[in-house]
Amino acid sequence: MELLQPGTWQEALEARAAHPGALPLHGGTDVMVDLNFDRRRPGALLDLGRVAELREWGTDDGRIRLGAGVPYARVIDELGAQLPGLAMASRTVGSPQIRNRGTIGGNLGSSSPAGDALPPLYASDAEVELAGPNGTRTVPIADFVTGPKRNVLADDELIAAFLVKPASGPQQFAKIGTRNAMVIAVCSFSLAVHPQERRVGTCIGSAAPTPVRAAEAEAFAAQALDWDGAGPADDATLTRFGELVAQAASPIDDVRGSAAYRRHALSVLARRTLSWAWSEQCA
């Protein structure tokens, strides 16, 4: 197997264009598992680990631009205030070793419905920046992921970064697993309160072929919550929000849990996270 190791972003793009069959590799926490289990046998690997540009983050026209190679550990340490939902999700990923190596770009690249970075990015309307020989394009995250482990990345493109507005209100992420750590989500839920826009962004993880927004729950929260007085959310509102989130999922029965359990768990996660976030909003 050929190993391509570009030292700069420009070299990485050139290598990708010259070897479109090469499999990009960043932290390797998904790719190396696939290679070890013989699920993939690419002719070449394109190791992005030496590309410093991918490990940078900064602000761009009011949004945070986070390079695809920033690992979970740095999101937790450096971005807890600006991106609290993503930081909460990052804390639940794997173990310290996986959080040090694994990247958000790799989670996007894998496009698993259970990828923990994805729900907070959907709830905050993130965009993915893709780069290739014809330049750069940005794609809303919901258009980037097209199916289980499928996305719109072309053979000659790389994920450069994602762009997301810093939190303007409380955010939450909650995940159910079969144990407390080192666990793939049975289901997960993320929300972001956008007070200026008087709306709540949501996303369900691991209970449909892709992460999904709970559109009816979002519309309900926009009209049912007391945006002017910031009064507390009553039980009926929280319960209805939970029901609508559960209805938006299309879960399956699998080794990690049944469809019925996932729906029930989602209604509980949605109720709890809205209650926590709205209490913070009212405080």
Ligand X SMILES: Cc1cc2nc3c(=O)[nH]c(=O)nc-3n(C[C@H](O)[C@H](O)[C@H](O)COP(=O)(O)OP(=O)(O)OC[C@H]3O[C@@H](n4cnc5c(N)ncnc54)[C@H](O)[C@@H]3O)c2cc1C
Binding interface with ligand X (CB under 6 A): 23-31, 33, 48, 68, 93-94, 98, 101-103, 105-107, 109-110, 115-116, 153, 158-159, 182, 184
Shortest Å distance, C-beta 216 to ligand X: 26
How far apart are CB 237 and ligand X at their closest, in Å? Answer: 30
Q: Which is nearer to ligand X, 144 or 241 (CB)?
A: 144
Angle, helix 235-248 to helix 215-224, in steps of 10 degrees: 160
Half-sphere exposure of 123 (CA within 13 A, CB side): 40
Instruction: Please report which residue ranges of 180-232 form alpha helices under DSSP H.
Output: 215-224
C-alpha torsion sign, points 64, 70, 76, 77: negative
In the complex with ligand X, the residue whose CB is nearer, 98 or 282, is 98
CB-wise, 115 or 201, nearer to ligand X? 115
- State which residue, 155 or 234, has the beta carbon closest to ligand X: 155
Count of CB atoms situated within 10 Å of the CB of 6: 18
Pairing of strands 158-164, 63-67: antiparallel
Look up tokens 């999700």; give the residue: 89
Nearer to ligand X, 107 or 210 (CB): 107
Question: Distances in Å between the alpha carbon of 95 and those of 34, 99, 181?
Answer: 19, 6, 7
* Shortest Å distance, C-beta 176 to ligand X: 12
Least separation in angstroms between CB 238 and ligand X: 27
Compute the least distance from the CB of residue 274 to ligand X, in Å: 23
